[in-house]
């Protein structure tokens, strides 16, 4: 469902906007002295958007499962007497759209809860690592370079451009890493639920409209079945791909997945770098 993917992208976008707002309140010369406040704002933005991503993925998983199996799964957000109508309503509320509706007849229930509890400690640690690599390390390098420059007039055009480029790198790097963590909360919820849900078969990777070479290659694998427990999803900064669960052998892959699969066969094998070059040339023609 495209609306689900767009809603997850929007959550990453909301995080990026909050991070940009926090940075905009600090002058470039003040960043080093404001790292603690910036890290707290960064962590809070990741945590809140990641929680929304998790809730959206649970609603999406539960809806797709009910549509394909005629049964509703338990876990967070489940309400007794759930129906296709109520599941659609939950999904519509979280996406902010009215995508579908259904009857209000209560569905048979599988009480098992396959959804992993949010690991807040792990999430906090990942956010701290992302902040350190994308912000803290950049600030440290910037301060060393500033010291090497010596004194400069505040209106020096070269200095102004340099500081602007620095702030932009903090915004871009922080947004990419944090946005990945936000969407990972939802991707991980689905990926983990598949392993613990007896009714699930596997998943496939749904890409955005213009995926990178790596995402195209992963999507070209087609369905990833539960027997391949080690098949990680493999997201990266600014990746908007989503895991779509499968509950029946009668699933149909998006046309893009078949296209990427054909491209890989036509490529004929080689290194990942070779595939990147081939993919870039092929998609530009």
- Tell me the per-residue pLDDT of 64-106, one tens digit each, with 9 for 90 and over: 999 999 999 999 999 999 999 999 999 999 999 999 999 999 9
Per-residue pLDDT at 29? 85
Look at residue 52 in the predicted model and tell me its pLDDT. Answer: 97
Residue range 206-228: mean pLDDT, rounded: 88
pTM: 0.92
Share of the chain above pLDDT 70, in %: 95
pLDDT (0 to 100) of residue 155:
63
Exposure letters 177-216 (e unless 16+ CB within 10 A, then b) = bbbbbbbbbbbbbbbebbeebebbbbbbbbbbeebbbbbb
Domain ranges, ordered by start, for the chain: 2-199, 201-285
Q: Which stretch of 38-42, 126-130, 247-251, 278-282 has the lowest confidence by average pLDDT?
A: 247-251
Question: What pLDDT score was predicted for residue 148?
Answer: 78
pLDDT exceeds cutoff 70 at 28: yes
pLDDT at 4 (0 to 100): 96
Q: How large a percentage of the chain has pLDDT more than 90?
A: 76
- Mean pLDDT of the 165-192 span: 95
In angstroms, the CA 187 to CA 53 distance is 8
Q: How confident is the model at residue 159 (pLDDT cuts 50, 70, 90)?
A: confident
């Amino acid at each position: 469902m495209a609306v689900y993917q767009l809603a997850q992208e929007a959550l990453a976008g909301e995080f990026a906007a909050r991070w940009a707002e926090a940075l905009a309140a600090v002058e470039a010369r003040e960043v080093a002295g404001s790292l603690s406040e910036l890290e707290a704002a960064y962590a809070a933005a990741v945590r809140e958007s990641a929680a929304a991503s998790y809730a959206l993925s649970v609603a999406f998983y539960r809806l797709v499962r009910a549509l394909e199996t005629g049964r509703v799964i338990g876990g967070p957000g489940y309400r007794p007497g759930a129906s296709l109508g109520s599941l659609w309503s939950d999904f519509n509320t979280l996406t902010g759209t009215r995508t579908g509706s259904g009857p209000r007849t209560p569905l048979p229930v599988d009480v098992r809860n396959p959804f992993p509890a949010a690991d807040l400690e792990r999430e906090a640690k990942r956010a701290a690592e992302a902040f350190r690599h994308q912000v803290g390390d950049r600030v440290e390098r910037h301060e060393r370079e500033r010291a090497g420059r010596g004194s400069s007039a505040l209106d020096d055009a070269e200095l102004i451009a340099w500081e602007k480029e620095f702030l932009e790198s903090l915004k871009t790097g922080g947004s990419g890493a944090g946005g990945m963590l936000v969407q990972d909360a939802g991707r991980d919820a689905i990926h983990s639920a598949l392993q613990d849900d007896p009714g699930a078969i596997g998943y496939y990777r749904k890409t955005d409209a213009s995926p990178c070479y790596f995402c195209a290659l992963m999507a070209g694998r087609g369905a990833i079945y539960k027997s391949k427990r080690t098949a990680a999803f493999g997201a990266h900064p600014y990746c908007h791909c989503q895991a779509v669960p499968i509950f029946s052998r009668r699933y149909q892959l998006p046309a893009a997945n078949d296209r990427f699969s054909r491209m890989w066969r036509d490529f004929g094998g080689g290194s990942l770098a070779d595939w990147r070059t081939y993919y870039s040339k092929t998609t530009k023609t």
